[in-house]
Structure 1
Amino acid sequence: MIEARSLTPDVQLRICTLDDASALADAQVRSREHLRPWEPVRTEKWFTTAGQVERMSYQLERYKNGLVVPWVLAEGDRIVGAITLSDLVPGPFRSAALGYWLAADALGRGLATRAVEAVAEIADTELKLHRIEASTLTANTASQRVLSRTDFHQIGMAPTYLHIDGHWQDCNLYQRILNTREPGA
């Protein structure tokens, strides 16, 4: 089990639970317009507690099977963001994909940078991964700054890579090499 970590005196990075569904729905509603340009088109159910219970049930089942690690950024009872390592691949690849978002009212506090750095440390020391990959829309300069500050390096650009905000969009591709030790060491 991955232990919770403090990102600031008030914000904790911890594995999500089904009890977070209502707070996640609230964060999604609060940030709907802020997140819209950077996410897939969402159904109305997404913005409800029931929709978040469904999503978290799926994520937690995948977590139990070692395929994903879903964290939330919790500020008391409020969720102010989330960060996920998905598509964890063991063996010689030892890699995972990183995704994250912050609520509109949590921007400008360094939380994304702190969360990405903490997750990279966990990926290295606890999950024994070799690398983490991430992608951003080519216009998402804020996320690109977070990745740059946390030792990710751009490794390419993928045309029509993700279906975001209703259409296929180009993305910059990034990776962070965590270590060069032997797999599993």
Structure 2
Amino acid sequence: MTPATTEIDLYDDVVLRSLRVEDAAALAEAYRVNSEHLAPFEPIRSNDFRTESGQRTEIAALIASREAGTALPLVLAHGSRIVGRVTLSGIVRGAFQSGNLGYWIDQRYADRGLMTAAVNEISRLAANELQLHRIQAGTLVDNVASQTVLRKCGFVEFGLAPEYLLIAGRWQDHRLFQRILEP
């Protein structure tokens, strides 16, 4: 089940909307502009990742996951510029009814409340349209900004995962957060 219409006005002329194939060039540019900003929080990326071709490949995989019902990839867009991404991935049905939340924002758009608004909206979509029971997110232990967003959006910390993800070239510990959703 995929939300029928996913284009939500956040504010400051920024919208949260479904990822599209035609976003490849703008997304590649966003990753290039923010490569230093994002590097401490992401896996080491190939040079191809920041190209239009690389993003077309990424987008195709995400759209296939969306169509399979295992992901909900969204972007924050300001006109034709992509200024962030919010994705529910690893959606599992059955007794679990859960998904994993990941997000980033362009450094020029940080500290405006946009990501808090976006996380609240994807949480609403997860509850009301995807009918999930919970979503979870992991942050690097020292990523206070991301932890603040999660807490503002009703997430609670439920654990510490040692050497959880390979980020910036090394296995790093993460604080784990979850939000139990109510439709």
Pick the TM interval, shorter chain: over 0.9
Structure 1 equivalent of residue 121 of structure 2: 118
- Structure 2 residue aligned with 1:77: 80
- Residue 109 of structure 1: aligned partner: 112
Alignment of structure 1 residues 1-185 onto 2, 5 Å: 1-179=4-182
Gaps of 5+ in 2: none
Query: Using the alignment, how far apart are the partners of 1:158 and 1:27 within structure 2?
Result: 30
Equivalences, count? 180
TM-score (norm 1): 0.95
| Counterparts of 1:18 and 1:43, CA distance in 2 | 20
Question: 1:59 offset after TM fit, Å?
Answer: 0.5
What do residues 32-82 of structure 1 show as CA deviations (whole Å, max 9, x unaligned)? 000000000001001100000000001101111101010000000000000
Alpha-carbon offset, residue 2 of structure 1 = 3.6
Q: Deviation string for 1:68-122 (max 9, x for gaps)?
A: 0100000000000000000111122110000000011111111110000000001
Distance 1:145 1:60 in 2: 29
For the residue of structure 2 that corresponds to 1:120, the secondary structure is helix
RMSD after superposition: 0.9
Distance across 1 between alignment mates of 2:70 and 2:181: 19
SS in 2 for 1:42: coil
C-alpha separation in 2, matches of 1:49 and 1:3: 23
**Counterpart-to-counterpart distance in 2, 1:24 and 1:166:** 23
The amino acid across from 1:3 in the alignment is T
Cα distance between partner residues in 2 of 1:91 and 1:161: 25
* Dislocated runs of 4+, deviation >2 Å: none
Structure 1: runs of 5+ lacking an equivalent: none
